[in-house]
Structures are given as C-alpha cells and as structure tokens.
Amino acid sequence: MSFIQEIQGEAYWEGVTAPILEVARKRLRALVKLIEIKKRDIIYTDFVDKIGAGVELTVRGADVGTDMAKFRLKARQFLQAHNNHIAVLKLRRNDPLTSTDLAELERMFVEAGVAHTDDIERLKPAGGLGLFVRSLVGLDREAAKAAFANFIAGKTLTASQVEFLDMVINHLTEKGQMEPGLLYESPFTDFDPMGVAGVFTLERSKELIGVLDDIRRHAEA
C-alpha cells in the first residue's frame, strides 16, 4: 500500500526511467495473486484449416546475410591479431571513439574481408561497429573501475553496495557495456528484489545508470 501511495505522488515521476518503471510493473504484478479466482465455463472450438496453393515470395531488404555467430567469431579472431590498434585500445580503455577511429575500424573490417559494408550498416541500430567491437574485446578492468571514480568518491558504501558495484564492473570487463535493465534482473536482484533501486537510493541509482550510459557513448561515434 505504501508503494501504491508513493507512485501516486509527483515526486516519484520526476526523472523516472524505463528501468524504474519496470520495477513498478513487477511490484504491482505481484498483486495479481490476490484477485479472487472465479470458475469459468469451458469453451470448445472445432476449426477446419484450409490450406491453399503455395506462392513463392521475394522478400526485399532481407538478403541471405551474414550468420551473426560466424560473423562474431571471425571478427573476434581478427581483433585478437589487431588488439594494439589505437581504435581497439581506445575501446578497451573507455576513451571516447572519434568518427576517424570508427572510419578506420570500418576500413580494416572491409579490407580484411571480415565484413561487408552492408554488415556494418546492419550493426547501426544496435549501437554501431564501435559498440560491436567493444562487446568482443571487453573493457579493461581498471578503466571500468575508473569510470565509477566520481560515483564512489567521498562515499561510504555498504558491503552489499561494494559487492553490487563489483558485479557491475565484472560485467563491463567481460561484455564491454551494460544495459541498465540488467540491474533489475538476476543476479542483481539477489541483493534486493528491486535490484539497483533497492541497494542504492533512487538518486544514486540514476547516477549509476548515468555512468553506464557514458561508457556506452564512448564506444559510439
């Protein structure tokens, strides 16, 4: 009841984010079990399917494209041989990627036969080539820790908050970036059912999500 009353106030909705709304949805969903169960009549259906003659269709804009698993494997092997390239180092160190860096990555991928121009275009809706490369090479652990320097500066964190933040850094080190929605899912909900919103205050949760957004933006150009 206290939560229902809280979300009716204007203060709750100031600066609200999608992850915060997801927590509200999950908490309110828990009330479904309180709905009185009523017996319903069983309805039977008896349909006869009629299948007509097959027609061959040409789907435009959906070529027999690159198998993503093979594409990632090929790109990973290529990047292992070029892990000292300045653009790759920038991505690992969380240094902002420039348009020149991105153009150089695209040139390398195309000239080496790792990807075609169309493949690179298909990556753009998901964040582009920079974020794709970062997902393969990961983020340097020290760079990930440095990204949260201001977040923890002058603060005394609880044991749970320290462990929670360490899990975030581990994820960034392995995956290179992190979607904020994951902070509200397992294993982060093992600390508190509300995830980050239960471990930190609302304001601090927004600040942490802001750090993740900055890390992501550094891989985009």
Cα separation, 70 vs 73, in Å, equals 5
Is the separation of the CB atoms in 202 and 210 below 8 Å? no
154 in any annotated domain: yes
Domain boundary among 101, 122, 137: 137
Task: Specify the pLDDT at position 203.
Answer: 94
8-43 residue pLDDT tens: 888 888 878 887 888 888 888 878 777 777 777 888
Q: Are 88 and 105 members of one domain?
A: yes
What number of residues does the chain have? 221
77 in any annotated domain: yes
Q: Are 109 and 151 members of one domain?
A: no
Cα separation, 119 vs 202, in Å, equals 40
Q: Are 158 and 202 members of one domain?
A: yes
130 in any annotated domain: yes
Q: Are 203 and 150 members of one domain?
A: yes
Cα separation, 217 vs 213, in Å, equals 6
45-98 residue pLDDT tens: 888 877 777 777 765 544 444 578 888 889 999 999 998 999 999 999 999 999
Residue 85: DSSP 8-state: S
Task: Specify the pLDDT at position 70.
Answer: 86
Task: Specify the pLDDT at position 59.
Answer: 56
Q: Are 103 and 160 members of one domain?
A: no
Q: Which amino acid is at 14?
A: E
Three-point CA angle 82, 75, 100, nearest 5°: 60
How many domains is the chain built from? 2
Average pLDDT, the chain: 88
For 144, the 3-state DSSP assignment is helix
User: Which is more confident, 55 or 176?
Assistant: 176
Domain of residue 80: give its range: 68-137
Task: Specify the pLDDT at position 60.
Answer: 52
Cα separation, 214 vs 90, in Å, equals 14
Three-point CA angle 94, 95, 100, nearest 5°: 130
- Rounded to two decimals, the pTM is 0.68
Cα separation, 176 vs 156, in Å, equals 27
